[in-house]
Amino acid sequence: KSGFISIIGRPNVGKSTFLNRVIGQKIAIMSDKPQTTRNKIQGVLTLPDVQMVFIDTPGIHKPKHKLGDFMMKVAQNTLKEVDLILFMVNAEEGFGRGEEYILEKFQSINTPVFLVINKIDQIHPDELLPIIETYKEKYPFKEIVPISALEGNNVERLLSQIKDIL
Ligand code: GDP
Ligand code: MG
């Protein structure tokens, strides 16, 4: 089994922290350098029974940038071509325009999307269900997975859910 996975989310939601945890220090540091390619491979996780290729999709997670039609199309095509999209959000922050912008881009594609609610170590357990309910109304996510990329909570479970869909 193998597949391409695009991690999408606003700055600071924890994308690099997640990649660091699942792939390792070196590659995540490289991914913070200025991007020279359109669809950058951020890292490859090779397990005995599955290989996951994580790629970045520039253009989708920069809602404040006015992008040309071409770049927007490139980003959109990438989303169509990957096997899975991980849409990462910060549990500490409410649903905002940045999230709305990204969800709009998902409307025209058939790629499955997992909602990854990160930083659950920062919230009270009672706060989780309302967040899940809010997002459920916005988009038909294939899975909704709360994690802490920093502390590792639920990360193994997310990897196993990714594996199941590839
Ligand atoms: P990116 O911009 O999406 O790549 O976000 P980063 O991975 O750089 O993380 C942004 C900040 O959030 C850093 O200070 C991380 O240490 C912190 N962070 C990431 N994941 C978590 C988490 O699960 N819990 C907490 N408390 N902090 C986190
Ligand atoms: Mg980053």
Q: Check pocket membership of 21 for ligand 1, CB cut-off 6 A.
A: no
Give me ligand 2 centre to Cα 14, in Å: 7
Q: Check pocket membership of 43 for ligand 1, CB cut-off 6 A.
A: no
pLDDT at residue 31, as a whole number: 54
Question: What mean pLDDT is predicted for residues 71-81?
Answer: 80
Task: Identify which ligand lies nearest to the alpha carbon of 42.
Answer: 2
Summarised one tens digit per residue, pLDDT across range 6-32 is: 999 888 899 989 998 998 755 555 555
Reported ipTM: 0.99
- Collapse the DSSP code of 147 into the 3-class scheme (helix H, G, I; strand E, B; otherwise coil) and give the result: coil
Distances (CA, A) of 166 to 21, 49, 112, 161: 20, 11, 10, 9
Question: What mean pLDDT is predicted for residues 73-87?
Answer: 87
Cβ pair 79, 6 in contact under 8 A: yes
pLDDT at residue 78, as a whole number: 84
Q: Check pocket membership of 16 for ligand 1, CB cut-off 6 A.
A: yes
pLDDT at residue 151, as a whole number: 97
pLDDT at residue 73, as a whole number: 72
pLDDT at residue 36, as a whole number: 47
> What domains does the chain contain, in order, with CATH numbers?
2-165 (3.40.50.300)
pLDDT at residue 11, as a whole number: 83
- The two tokens of residue 80 are 């169509």
Residues annotated in a binding site for GTP: 9-16, 56-60, 118-121
Give me ligand 2 centre to Cα 124, in Å: 25
Q: Check pocket membership of 121 for ligand 1, CB cut-off 6 A.
A: yes
Question: Residue of the nearest CA to atom 25 in ligand 1?
Answer: 119
* pTM of the entire predicted model: 0.90
Q: Check pocket membership of 10 for ligand 1, CB cut-off 6 A.
A: no
